[in-house]
Amino acid sequence: MNAKSVMSRSLAGLAIAAALVLMTSQAPAEEGMWTFTNPPSKLLQEKYGFTPTQEWLDHVRLSSIRFNDGGSGSFISPGGLVMTNHHVAVGQLQKVSTSAKDYVADGFFAPTPDKELKSPDLELNVLMAMIDVTSRVTASAKPGLTAEQALKAREAEIAKIEDESLKQTTLRSNVVALYGGAEYWLYRYKVYTDVRLVFAPQRRVAYFGGDWDNFTYPRYDLDVAFFRVYENGRPVKPANYFKWNAKGAGLDELVFVSGHPGSTDRLFTVAELNFERDVHYPVLLKYISGRLAILGTYAAKGQEEQRRALVQMFGLENSRKALTGEYEQGLLNKAMMDRKALEEKEFRDKVEADPARRAEYGEAWPTIAGVVEKEAGLYKTQFYERLSGSRLAELAMTIVLYVAEVPKPDADRLPGYHEAQLPSVRFNLFSPAPVYADLEEAGLAGTLKMSLDELGSDNAFIKLVLGGKSPAEAARELIGGSKLADVAVRRALIDGGVKAVEASKDPLIVLARKLAPRVRETVQWTKDNIDSVLEPAHQKIGRARFAVYGKSLYPDATFTLRLTFGTVAGYPMNGTQAPYETTLYGLFDRSLGFNKSGDWALPDAFWANVGTLDLSTPVNFVSSCDIIGGNSGSPVINKNAEIVGLIFDGNIESLAGRFFFDGEANRAVAVHPAYIIEALRKLYGAAKLADEIEGK
């Protein structure tokens, strides 16, 4: 599965700006997550005789959608219908489910618009404009400033640009650092928040094979969901949407993916890769295993508990499998690490060979190595000195920081609380999504226990949070005594500002107040010691790469819109060849191969209708498009910008793609459009929806 990883290296406010330039001159043609301002037109012309026109690019961009909680999608009908993955939609599905009606397990279909289900807190973005603001941001850090002052100046300028843009256009406005900060771009998004569920299959159909089959292929998943976007109570009529091609793409056909890859670390320096291998991944994998153990114990209590924990568990299992692959196939892969070291040496040799380049860029590598070393010693402590595993605890911290930050001048605020960022913060704060107190308590007790185990009882954070109580006692008091599950209570605190928050006796607010100074301290320490040093070093490497390897590069992924291309093709797999596509025959084969049980069970309707289905209908297929987590739900399109697939995963061989692209075995896994139509018409009685999709 390719949902944007639920875990990110960054703690709240502790982000390490790690975007780096990606491509070397030897890269295979299919490699690359290209921005729409720098599309791979030359490569496409050379290899496939196809050059996308500006009109084509604009149409594709404006038909593409970002799911702001970590996925991609697209408009696919003039009636505002949006397609994404079931596993991107599953969070919303769970939020509209109850113990009495479980749309995750049972699926959902609204035969008429009035039956569509409004999502509690789903925000969709369409990228309307991209403006190069590199010189404005760079110029803001005037010569003579210290590194800390320069960082503050850049951050202030970025906040100002975003705020001006928002006020001017009412569009969501984000400044994005590309090429390690060698470029800054202002991206403006149209925001949709009235998004209603139209169709989702049963999870066992969408996620056939479960965590076992996740990130593998051959695959047989109907990992699709449809939403409809509304504005002012009416379906939007998008000027741009993708037309449907039920035939899909043939073997070796050129295809494109337009979506939002979350992050890649392809040009991390060797020092950073060593940090990932020795510090970051071990800490993260241990934490995820701990979280899964906590949730597993909770879910074992009963069917309703299982339902409540399912989406969190899915996210963590998905992350565990992805990170394990990245760790074992990437960071622990000696051949890869050797190659990375060699590439870095060649790059640095080229920089060192030229006195001007050496003077300008040469110090960047040792600088980064020094920063990484400083970070390594503190990483685990900082990681565990925070509240996690509880949505209410996170909301409490957001409320405490929000009321304190918003009155300040924009330039002085903590990251995440700048003016242009507030609409999304408030949208999340006031989400009516259900909160389950027992799950909250189990989650918080578990993570407090983990923090205690890792930090020891003498640790200041632990003393402050536990105050001598056991993790279970503390969690019971904090969650049991909190009223934050009530949206009105949260709204009253935000509306009441600092005064209301200071007066609150809600135990989670009280705790967040105590912890807030520590959060500010850590953010400041990170700015002074990490970000202010790392950012300029990364910028230097980015510029050095331009100087040495030229401008035909793509930036590391940043959960912004990218275009990637490739061909439909199998690959060498475990001693043989993987097929380029699978069919309904294979779905039934694989279910029978596990006695129709466990993660490979299918709804009875599938077996009952096996005789009426066209079993040769393609189900999933693979292409050499270069994708990663965040691309989930991206449309696969052909040269005519028609939908020929729906990205939902990378194969297991692609997991090391976070660090390098292997064109031989790296494959993007997609749902075939024919399966979607066959299922809607013959298994779900949704012919009208199929007609809308097919434009009939």
CA distance 370 to 16: 14
Pick from 32, 39, 209, 259: which binds a second copy (CB under 8 A)? 209
Pick from 80, 325, 446, 673: which binds a second copy (CB under 8 A)? 325
Residue 319 in contact with a second copy, rule: CB under 8 A: no
Q: Rounded to the nearest whole angstrom, what is the least distance from the CB of residue 619 to a second copy in the complex? A: 9
Residue 53 in contact with a second copy, rule: CB under 8 A: no
Which backbone phi and psi does 519 adopt, to 5 degrees? -60, -45
Please list every residue from 216 through 235 that binds a second copy, using CB under 8 A. 216, 218
Binding segment for a second copy among 359-367, 372-380, 612-620, 669-677 (CB under 8 A)? 612-620
Residue 215 in contact with a second copy, rule: CB under 8 A: yes
Residue where the block lists tokens 């075939």 = 672
For residue 534, what are the contacts with CB-CB under 8 A and spacing of at least 6? Answer: 16, 17, 18, 368, 371
Which pairing describes strands 618-623 and 668-671: parallel, antiparallel, or unpaired?
Answer: antiparallel
CA distance 291 to 444: 10
Nearer to a second copy, 229 or 249 (CB): 249
Q: Rounded to the nearest whole angstrom, what is the least distance from the CB of residue 93 to a second copy in the complex? A: 24
Binding residues for a second copy, total number by CB under 8 A: 36
Residue 407 in contact with a second copy, rule: CB under 8 A: no
Q: Rounded to the nearest whole angstrom, what is the least distance from the CB of residue 255 to a second copy in the complex? A: 17
From residue 632 to residue 671, the character string flagging contacts with a second copy as x (rule: CB under 8 A) and all else as - is --------------------x-------------------
Nearer to a second copy, 211 or 473 (CB): 211
Q: Rounded to the nearest whole angstrom, what is the least distance from the CB of residue 576 to a second copy in the complex? A: 4
For residue 648, what are its two tokens?
């939902």
Q: Rounded to the nearest whole angstrom, what is the least distance from the CB of residue 615 to a second copy in the complex? A: 7
Residue 523: strand pairing partners: none
Residue where the block lists tokens 């001017």 = 168
Nearer to a second copy, 593 or 695 (CB): 593
For residue 86, what are the contacts with CB-CB under 8 A and spacing of at least 6? Answer: 93, 200, 201, 203, 206, 207, 222, 223, 224, 225
Q: Rounded to the nearest whole angstrom, what is the least distance from the CB of residue 300 to a second copy in the complex? A: 22
Binding segment for a second copy among 153-161, 178-186, 566-574, 637-645 (CB under 8 A)? 566-574
Q: Rounded to the nearest whole angstrom, what is the least distance from the CB of residue 342 to a second copy in the complex? A: 21
Q: Rounded to the nearest whole angstrom, what is the least distance from the CB of residue 503 to a second copy in the complex? A: 53
Nearer to a second copy, 54 or 574 (CB): 574
In this structure, are residues 382 and 497 in contact, taking their beta carbons and an 8 Å threshold? no
Residue where the block lists tokens 């060797």 = 270
Residue 287 has a CB neighbour count (10 Å cut-off) of: 22
The helix or strand, by DSSP H or E, that contains position 645, with its residue range, turns out to be strand 642-650
CA distance 493 to 483: 11
Per DSSP, the three-state class of 8 is coil
In this structure, are residues 126 and 189 in contact, taking their beta carbons and an 8 Å threshold? yes
CA distance 688 to 685: 8
Closest CA to 110 of 87, 85, 93: 93
For residue 75, what are the contacts with CB-CB under 8 A and spacing of at least 6? Answer: 63, 65, 81, 82, 229, 238, 240, 241, 242
Nearer to a second copy, 95 or 219 (CB): 219
Nearer to a second copy, 54 or 612 (CB): 612
Q: Rounded to the nearest whole angstrom, what is the least distance from the CB of residue 587 to a second copy in the complex? A: 8
CA distance 192 to 197: 14
Which pairing describes strands 243-244 and 642-650: parallel, antiparallel, or unpaired?
Answer: parallel
Nearer to a second copy, 45 or 609 (CB): 609
The helix or strand, by DSSP H or E, that contains position 586, with its residue range, turns out to be helix 584-592
CA distance 645 to 275: 37
From residue 570 to residue 599, the character string flagging contacts with a second copy as x (rule: CB under 8 A) and all else as - is x--xxxxx-xxxxxxxx-xxx-xxxx----
Q: Rounded to the nearest whole angstrom, what is the least distance from the CB of residue 320 to a second copy in the complex? A: 12
Q: Rounded to the nearest whole angstrom, what is the least distance from the CB of residue 612 to a second copy in the complex? A: 13
Binding segment for a second copy among 85-93, 214-222, 403-411, 444-452 (CB under 8 A)? 214-222
CA distance 35 to 564: 9
Residue 251 in contact with a second copy, rule: CB under 8 A: yes
Nearer to a second copy, 120 or 570 (CB): 570
Nearer to a second copy, 460 or 615 (CB): 615
Nearer to a second copy, 68 or 591 (CB): 591
Pick from 45, 115, 212, 695: which binds a second copy (CB under 8 A)? 212
CA distance 431 to 195: 13
Closest CA to 683 of 616, 609, 586: 609
For residue 583, what are its two tokens?
């069919």
Give the interface with a second copy as residue ranges (CB under 8 A). 209, 212-216, 218, 251, 321, 325, 570, 573-577, 579-586, 588-590, 592-595, 600, 615-616, 618, 652
